[in-house]
Chain A
Amino acid sequence: MLDSILFYFFAGVAVLSAALMVTRRNAMHCAVFLITTLLATAGIFLQLRAEFLFIAQIILYVGGIMVLFIFVIMLVRLDVPIHQMRFRLQKWVAVFVALALGFEITTILLFARKLPGQGLFIQESFPADKLPPNSEALAQSLFSGYLLPFEIASVLLLVAMVGAVVMAKKKERTDES
């Protein structure tokens, strides 16, 4: 009972603030509602007993990525270029993507029973209080079964970081000369 209450609360907050995030005009308000969406999603993770995902969502998305968003919004006066950009094209792209995603999800849900194996329905789920602690489980699988993908992802991120530094440096030098 408590679980469903929590789920509907967090899901409601997430959907509502996602809608507000898209419709608000002020970029900072959009960012605030995006933060609320992310926090509510984190709440759903916690309600599903995925405590590591919960804290990773908070530290990485809210504490890391959203900081950069807000930083950029504060540094750049967005109300000036907002009238110059071509938002009409974006609108149609967005409608197309939304429709495609909606179609995809509906198909999966409709045909879920016909998928091979159990489909989307897990027959025997663990009772919530008997779940094993998942930070350890996550670390185990990440550093044993999925070591190669994990390392590739790390190298990719490192390359991106070094690339960003190099590009920023280059621009500075051309400015001076």
Chain B
Amino acid sequence: MNPTAQAILHFLLTWWVEIVCGVVIVAVLPLVAGYVVLVERKLMADMQARLGPMRVGPHGLLQPIADAVKLLIKEDIVPRDADGLIFWFAPVISMVAAMTSMGALAFGPTFQVARDINIGILFVVGVSSLGFLGIILGGWASNSHYSIIGAIRSTAQLVSYETAGGLAIVSALLLSGTLKIRAIVDAQYDHHVWFGFLAPVAFFTYLVASIAETNRAPFDLPEAESELVAGYMTEYSGFRWALYFLGEYANMIVVGSVATTLFLGGWLRPFPSVHWLDKPLGVLPALLIGGVGVYSIYRAGKQPVPIQTWFMWAVALACFAVAGIFAAPWVFAPLKFIIPGLNGAFWFLLKVGAYIYVFMWLRFTLPRYRFDQLMHLGWYILIPLAIVNVFAVGVALLLESEFGWNRWLALIVTTAFTLAIALFLVRLHDKRTTAGSSATAATTDSYAG
């Protein structure tokens, strides 16, 4: 074998996990984003007592693919006075930033592209925040009033809420004592508790800030359709628009993964240190996916058209195949080494899914905030609360290490303190808004909350 081929082989042998994960992220992410959209539409329909997409495939299961094809072959319109180059690459920035930041995330103990970089969580947060550049540049380059107002709103909103989100992350990092993603999850294993329970205020702050950062309702002012047509993407069409959309959903997954890693125990299953749960929770993924397959077979009989019945059978077979992969190590012992990785990935994705479900739930439940309310919430309540919480968590850790307090007691005391401050801030804010001019006070009150 000549040396070049040998070098290439050696390279592949060293880096195959990274290469496979990277390719999977780039190749599968658009599909996942498409199906997240389908789930969102189905959920919205369910909450509004409708059926949602039903025509393309059984229960609309092929809708994302149809949408992707439609967007690919749509006419690509560039406004005459748009700034050509920036208009062209702004959506690309949005998507590339989200995908790059995914590289550092750990989807389970084995699946990670950039293995354990020392600045893990900072890298994810920092690089994913570059995605907003795509939003502002796109809004500016479109040379349209709606776009530019959307872009300016987006900038103001991101700057405000990134501060609150960053401070919430600091609270969790104080507890873990490291920036490495694996080490953060291991710290939660060592403490026998998810940091979301130890620092609930930080978790709540991060939840609100992450909704605002991903521009989703009730904070979707950059693209408020009743005010700005579509905000920063008004002038975009076809596949460029799809890139923005993809970037937005990828960002949701990134934000959900960060929250899962920091506050929800990453890939750890519930009660990771209770060993008698090893068996029942170990077979749960296979059973759950198999159950979905059985349900698909049950639904297959109720399809109106034969081809949809066949498709449902195909879905059921796919589910059984995945369940089989999960169950294989129980039958064939040498495969046992894949169990931690697969189960970890299952729990991680389940938690991210739950987080995104909360996003959707809030979107269909809460009315959109007015822009001044958004800014007030960010600057008068969330940022002071996050600062106080960083202080409180620090004090709790000091009480534990210097005065020998129980960790739970220390954290409960400091969290109570933080909540008292929060109550005070809300009261102060209410007073401030009612003390304002009486004309706005009436409307502010009716929307407050």
User: Which A residues are closer than 8 A to B by beta carbons?
Assistant: 26, 28-29, 32, 35, 51-52, 54-55, 58-59, 62-64, 66-68, 70-71, 74-75, 133-135
Minimum CB–CB distance for B107 against chain A, Å: 21
A28-B86, A28-B140, A58-B127 in contact; A67/B155 too (CB < 8 A)? yes
- The answer to whether A52 and B119 have CB atoms under 8 Å apart is yes
User: Which B residues are closer than 8 A to A by beta carbons?
Assistant: 83, 86, 117-119, 122-123, 125-127, 129-130, 132-133, 136-137, 140-141, 148, 151-152, 155-156, 158-159, 162, 179
- The answer to whether A63 and B119 have CB atoms under 8 Å apart is no
Closest to B148 in A: A74
- The answer to whether A135 and B155 have CB atoms under 8 Å apart is no
Minimum CB–CB distance for B99 against chain A, Å: 16
Minimum CB–CB distance for A131 against chain B, Å: 10
A74 CB contact (under 8 Å) in B86, B118, B126, B151: B151
The docked-state distance in angstroms from the alpha carbon of A146 to that of B245 is 46
The docked-state distance in angstroms from the alpha carbon of A22 to that of B86 is 18
Residues of A within 8 A of B137 (CB): 28, 32, 70
- The answer to whether B162 and A63 have CB atoms under 8 Å apart is yes
Minimum CB–CB distance for A94 against chain B, Å: 26
- The answer to whether B152 and A63 have CB atoms under 8 Å apart is no
Q: A29-B86, A52-B118, A63-B129 provided; 18 other pairs, C-beta below 8 A? A: A26-B83, A28-B83, A35-B133, A51-B117, A55-B122, A55-B126, A58-B126, A58-B127, A59-B125, A59-B126, A62-B133, A63-B130, A67-B158, A70-B133, A70-B137, A74-B148, A75-B152, A135-B119
The docked-state distance in angstroms from the alpha carbon of A32 to that of B86 is 9
The docked-state distance in angstroms from the alpha carbon of A173 to that of B86 is 39
Closest to A31 in B: B137
Q: Looking at chain B's contact residues, is the secondary structure mostly helix, strand, loop, or mixed?
A: helix
Q: Looking at chain A's contact residues, is the secondary structure mostly helix, strand, loop, or mixed?
A: helix
The docked-state distance in angstroms from the alpha carbon of A101 to that of B133 is 32
Q: Which 8 A-B pairs have the closest CB atoms?
A: A59-B126, A133-B118, A58-B126, A55-B122, A63-B129, A55-B119, A51-B119, A55-B126
The docked-state distance in angstroms from the alpha carbon of A28 to that of B82 is 13
B136 CB contact (under 8 Å) in A58, A70, A135: A70
Residues of A within 8 A of B158 (CB): 67
Closest to B139 in A: A74
- The answer to whether B152 and A58 have CB atoms under 8 Å apart is no
Minimum CB–CB distance for B74 against chain A, Å: 27
- The answer to whether B140 and A74 have CB atoms under 8 Å apart is yes
The docked-state distance in angstroms from the alpha carbon of A58 to that of B123 is 9
A71 CB contact (under 8 Å) in B118, B155, B179: B155
Residues of B within 8 A of A55 (CB): 119, 122-123, 126
Residues of A within 8 A of B129 (CB): 59, 63
The docked-state distance in angstroms from the alpha carbon of A37 to that of B159 is 22
Minimum CB–CB distance for B402 against chain A, Å: 17
Residues of A within 8 A of B130 (CB): 58, 62-63
Closest to B159 in A: A67
The docked-state distance in angstroms from the alpha carbon of A66 to that of B291 is 51
Residues of A within 8 A of B148 (CB): 74
The docked-state distance in angstroms from the alpha carbon of A62 to that of B162 is 14
Minimum CB–CB distance for B445 against chain A, Å: 23
The docked-state distance in angstroms from the alpha carbon of A67 to that of B158 is 10
Closest to B89 in A: A32
Q: What are 9 A-to-B residue pairs whose CB atoms are below 8 Å?
A: A28-B137, A58-B127, A59-B126, A63-B162, A67-B155, A70-B137, A70-B155, A74-B152, A135-B179
